Structures are given as structure tokens and as C-alpha cells.
Amino acid sequence: MEMRLMKMLNKGKLILLSLAIAIGCSKVPVTGRKQLDIVPNSQVLALAKSEYNEFLRTNKVVNNTSQAEEVERVGRNIANAVEVYLKREKQTKLLEGYNWQFNLVEDQQVNAWCMPGGKVVVFTGIMPIAQSEAGLATVMGHEIAHAVARHGNERMSQGLTAQLGGVALDVALSSKPNETRNLFMAAYGVGANVGILLPYSRLQESEADRIGLIFMSMAGYDPTEAINFWERMEKASQGGQPPEFLSTHPSHKTRIEELKKQLPEALKYYNQSVSKR
């Protein structure tokens, strides 16, 4: 009797999970790919705000320097481009609850990330490789693209399904707060601080490259500089441990070849932005 009851309960969980997956689908901007997204955006945004503030509190934020001003300026330009693009595509719902923040943090990691709600961190370690505003726009455009495309939500949804049995986010937070927090931080690319890292899939990386290239182009940054940036990243990773920013990414050669294919599309947006100046 007990075994039959357990089977019924497990079957019920599978049915509920299947329904959640069927209902919880969204579309990635630019590519139109359908993705799994079963985490309520309001809860994700609240968690992102909390974790972002905690990260800033426990790390050294750089203020009132030329580099900090550059991060803020490039971030605002890209954010404006994102808002224009999504308004034109009638996808402004993707930015509901966004409150853009851009911070430079003192850390030799060659890394950057963007949490939901437009919470961006750039580490000082990546600035020498960025070299210029266009190089920095490549980095920030790519990370912001991950957030706008809700790749983190997709990974969080997959993690809740695979690691925590498909429970709802609020249930996971109340029953397994530490595991859920670690899953969240890893899903949104801050995994180095919690000892785990969920790699973005090749598909997500390719999407972030393409979307980020469009965003930086609309913001007035020459997309051909993205090729130069990734070539510098390739040199930076030779003969040693690859930078954190590259640890889960496709090979340099693959990425650069794909970016070259995407340049004609990006250049159309760039030329339009230049003509409006």
C-alpha cells in the first residue's frame, strides 16, 4: 500500500513538473529561442538585489576614478541601447523591475557579471585587457545580454529541476536556503565565490555574443573591436590557467570565427547609431 502511494506521489510530482515546464517557457530576444523559465521574476529580482548589495558590502568597490567612471558610462550607454531595442521589438516586459547599477570592484580576477535587474560588476583585473571603451563594451554587452536573455533564469530553472527536485523557488529558499543561494550565485555567473560554477551552454554563449554585439553597436561602439578584445583574451590565457571570464566559454578560435560571421548584422546597427549623431 505504501509503495503504491509513493508511486502515485512521485507520478504526481512528475505531472506537476511537466506542467510547470510546459507553462514556464519564454523567448530569447533577437534569436527567438524558447527556453525553460519556471522561476518567478519578482522573486529572482528580490534575490538579486539582496545578493548584489551583500557582494558590494563585502568587496572593495572602486569609486571616483577614471576607470569607475568608464564602467558607469559604458554601462549606461548599453542600458539605453537595450531599452531602445526592446521597445522597438515590443519586448519591454523583459526589463520589468530593472534598476541598472554598474560597479567596478577591486579584484585581479579577469571577470565580469550581470545579475537580473541590471546589477553589473566589472573586476579591475579585466580592465587592462579591455583597453578601451569599445573593449569594455564588449565585456559588458556580453554579460548584460546574458541577463536580458534570462540565461541565468534558465539555468536556475534547470538547477531547481535537477538538483532540488523541481520545487518552487520560494519553497527551495525556505527549506534549503544555503543550497538555493549557491545555486543562484552559480546560475548567474558569480560561482567562483561559492566554490561551484554552472557553465553557460555553448548555445547560451553564442546567443550572448550575438545579442551583446548588437547592444554595443546600438550604443555607438564599433563591433569590430570585439574581435580585437577576444584576441587579447586569447593571449592572456596562453601558458596558464584561463581567466575566470573564459573558464566556461567556447574556444577562442570558435568564438572569434562566429563573431566574424555576426559582424555584418552588428555593423548595420552601428552604422545607424553613428548616422544619428
pLDDT tens, 203-246?
A: 888 899 999 999 999 999 999 999 999 999 888 877 554 554 55
Average pLDDT, the chain: 81
φ/ψ (deg, to 5) at 122: -120, 130
- Pick from 40-44, 132-136, 208-212, 213-217: least confident: 40-44
Catalytic choice (51, 70, 133, 143): 143
Give catalytic status of residue 207 as yes or no.
no
Q: Count how many Cα atoms sit within 13 Å of the Cα of residue 106 in the half-sphere of its side chain.
A: 9
Q: Using CA atoms, how far apart are residues 61 and 193, in angstroms rounded to an integer?
A: 16
Q: What is the pLDDT of residue 202?
A: 76
Neighbour-count burial of 181, counting CB atoms closer than 10 A to its CB (0-12 exposed, 13-18 middle, 19+ buried)? middle
User: What average pLDDT does the segment 53-72 reach?
Assistant: 97
Chain position carrying cell 541590471: 118
Residues of the chain with pLDDT > 90, as a percent, come to 50
Q: What is the pLDDT of residue 1?
A: 45
Single-letter amino acid code for the residue at 188: Y
Cell of 138: 564588449
Interacting residues of 51 by C-beta distance below 8 A, sequence separation 6+: 115, 181, 184, 185, 190
CB 71 within 8 A of CB 136: yes
The b/e string for 71-108 (b: 16+ C-beta within 10 A; e otherwise) is bbebbebbbebbeebbeeeeeeebbeebebbbbbbebe
Q: What is the pLDDT of residue 24?
A: 53
Question: Rg of the chain over CA atoms, in angstroms?
Answer: 19
> Above 90 in pLDDT, residue 20?
no
> Above 50 in pLDDT, residue 247?
no
Q: What is the pLDDT of residue 274?
A: 84
